[in-house]
Amino acid sequence: MSTKMHVDELDIDEALVRRMVAGQFPRWANLPVEPVDSAGTSNAMYRLGADLVVRIPRIPGAVEDIEKEEVWLRRLAPELPFAVPVPVALGEPADGCPWPWSVLRWLEGDPPVVGDVRQPELLAADLASFVTAMHRVDRVGAPDSYRSETLAARDAAVRRAIAAVAGAVDAPAVTALWDRTLEADEHPGPPVWIHADLQPGNLLVDAAGRLSAVIDFGCMGLGDPAVDLITAWYVLPAAVRDTFRTAVAADDAEWERGRGWALSVALMELEYYRETNPRMASIARHVVGELLADHAVTS
């Protein structure tokens, strides 16, 4: 993508990646480098040879994610039922990149296609398996998630987003749905480990449509388990949402908070990326549409 998505975004290209790899990891200096087509917005990804990928923060806000993943993905990987991108090496700041960066193992697979999931029942079961395992990981010493706040704490930002995208969504219906989700009881127990961003671009599926890997753990940490339910609307079709909900054992309040999280994330993404990232904006509009259709059925 040639258009920058952020005003403070770093200039990153293949030449920079080659210089950084050759300067710090000469054993990989002769490997080919090519950009990865990704909907990701916080990091740039470049494939390095056949087995590796370089991940560089695009913006200052993503820098601490690199170091967090370096520490925690090694501990989480053995506890999770699907592959995750465990770092192979941690790069240091260099000329052209003032921040740490990472080299990870390349994981095979493709993101699920929004609105055209090949094996929805099976993918729903796979996602539930991942979410359940993530939420059971020992929380001792874990950091807070990037999305560790309550829905109520997001209220002002969500209403600003609704006003900003009123021409692209049914603002009264969206507002009514948001108001309804705010009425749900808060999470009654301690926070749990969450991925916190289970969107299509952070999932990989194999040729059979089964989940093969979960990537981009920059938002991970402790939070409300309902945050991970956003995948029900971001990825899964309506026909299998009940399958997913049953498998994760979400009660009415948790499911309603999951709706609120999906709506708030989608609205803020639509507001922020509508001019700079058509793919992200399209996914966000799809999610809002799915949520409104659900709301119409359950009202």
Instruction: For residue 28, tell me if it sits in a domain.
Output: yes
Q: Are residues 86 and 133 in the same domain?
A: no
Q: Residue 256: which CATH number?
A: 3.90.1200.10
Q: Are residues 84 and 138 in the same domain?
A: no
Number of neighbours of residue 7 by Cβ within 10 angstroms: 6
pLDDT digits (tens, 9 = 90+) for 157-199: 999 999 999 999 999 999 999 999 999 999 999 999 999 999 9
Q: How far apart are CA 26 and CA 12, in angstroms?
A: 20
Q: Are residues 93 and 177 in the same domain?
A: no
Mean pLDDT of 143-152: 97
- Locate 297 and state its tokens: 């059925």
Q: Are residues 137 and 87 in the same domain?
A: no
Looking at residue 67, its pLDDT comes to 84
Instruction: For residue 100, tell me if it sits in a domain.
Output: yes
- Locate 14 and state its tokens: 């293949």
Q: Are residues 189 and 250 in the same domain?
A: yes
Q: Is 90 exceeded by the pLDDT of residue 31?
A: yes
Q: Are residues 92 and 189 in the same domain?
A: no
Instruction: For residue 3, tell me if it sits in a domain.
Output: no
pLDDT digits (tens, 9 = 90+) for 260-282: 999 999 999 999 989 888 899 99
Mean pLDDT of 53-57: 94
Mean pLDDT of 24-30: 97
Q: Residue 90: which CATH number?
A: 3.30.200.20
Boundary residue ending a domain (43, 75, 105): 105
Instruction: For residue 184, tell me if it sits in a domain.
Output: yes
| Closest to 159 (Cα-Cα) out of 151, 294, 185, 150 | 151
pLDDT digits (tens, 9 = 90+) for 204-236: 999 999 999 999 999 999 999 999 999 999 999
Q: Are residues 259 and 216 in the same domain?
A: yes
- Locate 25 and state its tokens: 């990891």
Looking at residue 297, its pLDDT comes to 67
Q: Are residues 240 and 145 in the same domain?
A: yes
Instruction: For residue 188, tell me if it sits in a domain.
Output: yes
Q: Are residues 187 and 269 in the same domain?
A: yes
Instruction: For residue 4, tell me if it sits in a domain.
Output: no
Instruction: For residue 129, tell me if it sits in a domain.
Output: yes
Looking at residue 299, its pLDDT comes to 58
pLDDT digits (tens, 9 = 90+) for 59-114: 887 788 888 898 999 999 999 999 999 899 999 999 999 999 999 999 999 999 99
Give the range of the structural domain holding residue 19, as residue numbers without chain letter: 14-105
Q: Is 70 exceeded by the pLDDT of residue 10?
A: yes
Query: Between the CA atoms of 1, 98, 69 and 247, what dihedral angle is there, to the nearest 10 degrees?
Result: -30
Q: Are residues 158 and 237 in the same domain?
A: yes
Question: Count of domains in the chain?
Answer: 2
Using 50, 70 and 90 to split pLDDT, how confident is the model at 2?
Answer: very low
Mean pLDDT of the chain: 93
Q: Are residues 25 and 133 in the same domain?
A: no
pLDDT digits (tens, 9 = 90+) for 33-43: 999 987 667 88
Q: Are residues 124 and 20 in the same domain?
A: no
Instruction: For residue 63, tell me if it sits in a domain.
Output: yes
